[in-house]
Amino acid sequence: MLDLVRVRFAPSPTGHLHVGGARTALFNWMFARKEGGKFILRIEDTDLERSSMEFERQILDSLRWCGLDWDEGPDVDGDHGPYRQSERLDIYREHARKLVEEKRAYYVVYDKEDPTRELFSTFDYPEEYARKGHPVTVKFKVLPGKTTFEDLLKGQMEFDNSTIEDFIIMKSNGFPTYNFAVVVDDHLMEISHVFRGEDHLSNTPKQIMIYEAFGWETPVFMHIPLILGPDRTPLSKRHGATSVEHFRKEGILSRALMNYLALLGWKVEGDEIFTIEERLQSFDPRDISNKGVIFDYQKLEWVNGKHMRRIELDDLKREFVEWAEYVGKTIPDVDDEYFLNSLRICREKVNTLSQLYDIMYPFLSEEYEYEKDYIEKFLKKEESEEVLKEVKKELEKLDNWNMEQIERVLREVAGRGIASKKVVFQLVRGAVTGKLVTPGLFETIEVLGKERTLRRLERTLRFLKDL
């Protein structure tokens, strides 16, 4: 076990939680949990125009849903805060002043009529100019030489300082820039490892310069390849949905999403289907691939289907009910044993909770509708009424309501030559569920039970007369 592992996830509340951010959070969380360390959540909300509390709430909600609990950060009880950058402005200003005192940073005064034009720079705070409305920033002074660091994935990295100009660390509005705030925060929060997307790689030399200017020890850096779309560009909205919230609404289980995100880059031995807890002790960040990975929507759905058929029925019911409440769908109230039996056969045919709702609703409600294809292709056939009446008459005679007896009755009616076997089976399937695609016909009727099945056959016969 490593000493004092402290990692962080630091989202900006400018949009929903992206699956790429969720994967970064997951890898940090797994490392902290395996090593007995701390996972810290920090909100980087210095982008005043784009940040909002609504997005912050949604990000926190998505992280909780993913099972990625944090030890320090927003909403954690105890003396841990504040962990929002907008609440730490005095800290950044004080540290910027220290750099100016050490001649590693300086003030820049701008033309108040043209704020893009620099007038002059100075190590003394230009109070008179600031009072007259001139914008003033603080710039970091880049020294000659090279900046090097060891990346856990990419190995030795080297940057020539001559390619980096002096850069702003405090903006004229009194807010820090990203590269400055993140260094101050990571140092004060004693972050030992910084695992983040490789889109931050170009920021790292600037951040290391700031660490060195303060005489602080740098954390261990690891820059993870990005999640890509099919065209091998960074996954974005043009490829389709990218937010955790979207997949939650579509009926993806959180355990399945975490499973799939872990597979995107982490070399996992054995079965691809697992919960994070099952593989936590085998996690090693050095096993993460240094190549970009493509997000496959169909693979995610496949993984989700595997989890839906893997978990206990009671757990699936709880997840299903919570999902329906989240998206505002109504689940009719039925007997618990009947609900679980319906769930057991319906989950075999679907891969998401949304699909499960569609296929299971006719089991739960007597108000199901008949699909247009069922009406046009089967119910309007000349022989449909006779078939349904014969099936109803024979099923009424059954004392033992089980799949074998139900199958015997349906095959016997189909063998009378009134209609083909396919037509008989589909007529009955649609009559009792309204759909042409359901779980196995015989087990569907067995689960529906005798009373409900006969009632639905009678309902369909009445509907047929009104056609």
Domain ranges of the chain: 6-73+227-294, 88-224, 312-364, 372-466
Q: What is the mean pLDDT of residues 420-426?
A: 97
pLDDT of residue 11 exceeding 80, the answer is yes
So what's the pLDDT on residue 239?
Answer: 87
The answer to whether the CB of 27 falls within 8 A of the CB of 288 is yes
Angle between helices 204-214 and 89-101 (to 10 degrees): 70
Percent of the chain at pLDDT above 70? 98
For the chain, what is the radius of gyration of the CA atoms?
31
Q: Which two three-digit tokens encode residue 424?
A: 């008989």
The answer to whether the CB of 307 falls within 8 A of the CB of 273 is yes
Tell me the pLDDT of the chain averaged across its residues.
95
Q: What is the mean pLDDT of residues 160-173?
A: 97
Distance from the Cα of residue 370 to its chain's centroid: 35
So what's the pLDDT on residue 82?
Answer: 61
At 17-63, the pLDDT tens digits run: 999 999 999 999 999 999 999 999 999 998 888 889 999 999 999 99
Active site residue ranges: 237
Percent of the chain at pLDDT above 90? 92
So what's the pLDDT on residue 345?
Answer: 98
Number of DSSP helices (H) and strands (E) in the chain, helices first: 19, 12
Element (H, E) at 54: helix 53-66
At 390-403, the pLDDT tens digits run: 999 999 999 999 99
Annotated binding residues for ATP, as ranges?
237
> Any idea what the Cα angle at residue 73 is, between residues 68 and 76, rounded to 5°?
85
The answer to whether the CB of 95 falls within 8 A of the CB of 73 is no
In 3D space, the residue among 13, 422, 83, 26 whose CA is nearest the CA of residue 262 turns out to be 26
Rounded Cα gap, residues 394 and 445, in angstroms? 14
Q: What is the mean pLDDT of residues 424-437?
A: 98
Q: What is the mean pLDDT of residues 348-359?
A: 97
Rounded Cα gap, residues 80 and 157, in angstroms? 34
pLDDT of residue 1 exceeding 60, the answer is no
Rounded Cα gap, residues 137 and 110, in angstroms? 8
pLDDT of residue 221 exceeding 80, the answer is yes
Place 467 in a pLDDT band, splitting at 50, 70 and 90.
Answer: confident
Report the top-level CATH class of 6-73+227-294.
alpha beta
Backbone angles phi, psi at 119, to 5 degrees: -90, -50
Q: What is the mean pLDDT of residues 446-462?
A: 98
pTM of the model: 0.93
At 123-161, the pLDDT tens digits run: 999 999 999 999 999 999 999 999 999 999 999 999 999
So what's the pLDDT on residue 416?
Answer: 95
As a CATH number, domain 312-364 is 1.10.8.70
Rounded Cα gap, residues 443 and 449, in angstroms? 10
So what's the pLDDT on residue 329?
Answer: 97
As a CATH number, domain 372-466 is 1.10.10.350
Angle between helices 53-66 and 254-263 (to 10 degrees): 90
The answer to whether the CB of 259 falls within 8 A of the CB of 193 is no
So what's the pLDDT on residue 80?
Answer: 47
Annotated binding residues, as ranges?
237
The answer to whether the CB of 414 falls within 8 A of the CB of 421 is yes
Place 75 in a pLDDT band, splitting at 50, 70 and 90.
Answer: low
The verdict on whether omega for the bond into residue 285 sits within 30 degrees of 0, i.e. cis, is: no
Rounded Cα gap, residues 387 and 395, in angstroms? 12
At 251-306, the pLDDT tens digits run: 999 999 999 999 999 998 889 999 999 999 999 999 999 999 999 999 999 999 99
So what's the pLDDT on residue 76?
Answer: 54
What is the DSSP track for 284-346?
Answer: -GGGB-SS-EE--HHHHHHHHHHHHHHS-HHHHHHHHHHHHHHHT-------HHHHHHHHHHH
DSSP-assigned beta bridge partners for residue 266: 288
pLDDT of residue 79 exceeding 70, the answer is no
Domain 88-224 is classified in which CATH homologous superfamily?
Glutamyl-tRNA Synthetase; Domain 3 (3.90.800.10)
